[in-house]
Amino acid sequence: MDYKKYLVVAPGIVLAFVLYTLSQGFNNIIGIEFFGYDKSPISTAMIAILLGILFGNIFKIRNSIQKGLDFSREYILKLGIICLGIQLKPFEFLEFSKIAIPLIIICMISVLIVIKLIIKKLNIPTRMAYLISIGSTVCGTTAIMATAPVIKASKNEVSYAIANITLFGILSMLLYPYFANLYFEGNPLFAGLFLGTSIHETSQVAAAGLIYDQQFNSPETLNIATVTKLIRNTFLIIMIPLFAFLYNRGIPKEKNYSVLDIFPYFVLGFIVMIVFRNIGDQIFTNNNNDNWIETIFYIKTLSKVFLTMAMAAIGLSTNLKDIINMGYKPFAVGFVAMLTVGIVSVLTIEIYLKLFI
């Protein structure tokens, strides 16, 4: 076996892991020790990419390290997305899926239409618009990083889109719990649905649900928001191939694309992991099998580690000068996307209230 090709990428992978470890430490200190939360409302992934950008622009990254960072961005990322499927339990979603799924679809379609109209006015790059669109509609950073390879987005475009989603995700995370409680008059179902559909990142949704729970004593809202967000995450399976097809369809006819050519096959691993989780639950849960519970916990942990390492690698590979040269227009798109998904979520819930309650 040729070990040299693995040794070549080792330094970059180790550096990405070190930044993950630092990010986790900062996350605990800032979120738990400083703010006093039981669970930090600050995303470790956000800290990782910010640290990566900081170090990557202060120090020059050697080519020997860059190879490992590229490996982390491509392969460790995909492994993290596959492991992410272990936390999805579709059979539990049936309780309120009749409301959640139509709401998610309406929000997604609305944002895509609005962004499509805006990019024509602002004239921003198509790949950037695609990344911001899928980040706003599906699952934030994870969706951006999963979509980037299939539309051949550059590292700086990925970093810019993630910065965009992070900025507006944090803003909504801090404001929406209070708005939801006031507007929906403490109804845990509708507050949870709103938080789960209007905030970008899974970690941000969980943090917003936690803030709501701690401020208004409503663990039901936290559960509903989190599960709604996980249902929303499953649309990754549909949206990535769709975006890949739409983007590559416009490429000159010198190369013909089919769905099979551009399909991101790691999504199949994501689906397999969902099936694995549900089969395991059926077999082991009734027997109170602690080993199965521990297995789920470890795979969830690995998913977070892999994804955060990939984000650190993205940050380390980012050139701030190139991002500044992109201008303000993509941020305007992200702001409008945040407002659109929030407003559409509220209006759709209102319509449901009037029609069925």
Structure tokens at 152: 């051949």
Structure tokens at 293: 């519970």
Rounded Cα distance between 192 and 253, Å, is 46
Q: How far is CA 315 from CA 25, 53, 189, 270, in A?
A: 18, 4, 37, 25
Q: How far is CA 3 from CA 72, 76, 323, in A?
A: 17, 18, 36
DSSP per position, 50-88: HHHHHHHHHSPPPHHHHHHHHHIIIIIHHHHHHHHGGG-
Closest CA to 80 of 291, 305, 275: 305
Q: Is 134 helix (H, G, I), strand (E, B) or coil?
A: helix
pLDDT at 257: 45
pLDDT at 262: 47
Residues 103, 348 contacting (CB under 8 angstroms): yes
Helix (H) or strand (E) holding 319: none
pLDDT at 164: 81
In tens digits, what is the pLDDT along the chain, a chain of 357 residues? 455 666 788 889 999 999 999 988 887 787 667 766 665 656 677 788 788 888 988 888 888 888 888 888 778 878 887 887 787 665 555 566 777 888 888 888 888 888 878 877 777 777 888 888 888 888 777 788 778 877 888 877 887 888 788 778 878 888 899 999 999 988 988 999 999 999 987 767 877 887 888 778 888 888 788 778 878 877 877 887 777 777 776 555 444 445 455 455 676 787 788 788 888 888 776 656 778 888 888 998 898 888 888 888 888 887 777 667 667 777 888 888 888 889 999 998 888 776 766
Closest CA to 322 of 169, 187, 148, 125: 125
Rounded Cα distance between 244 and 94, Å, is 30
pLDDT at 1: 46
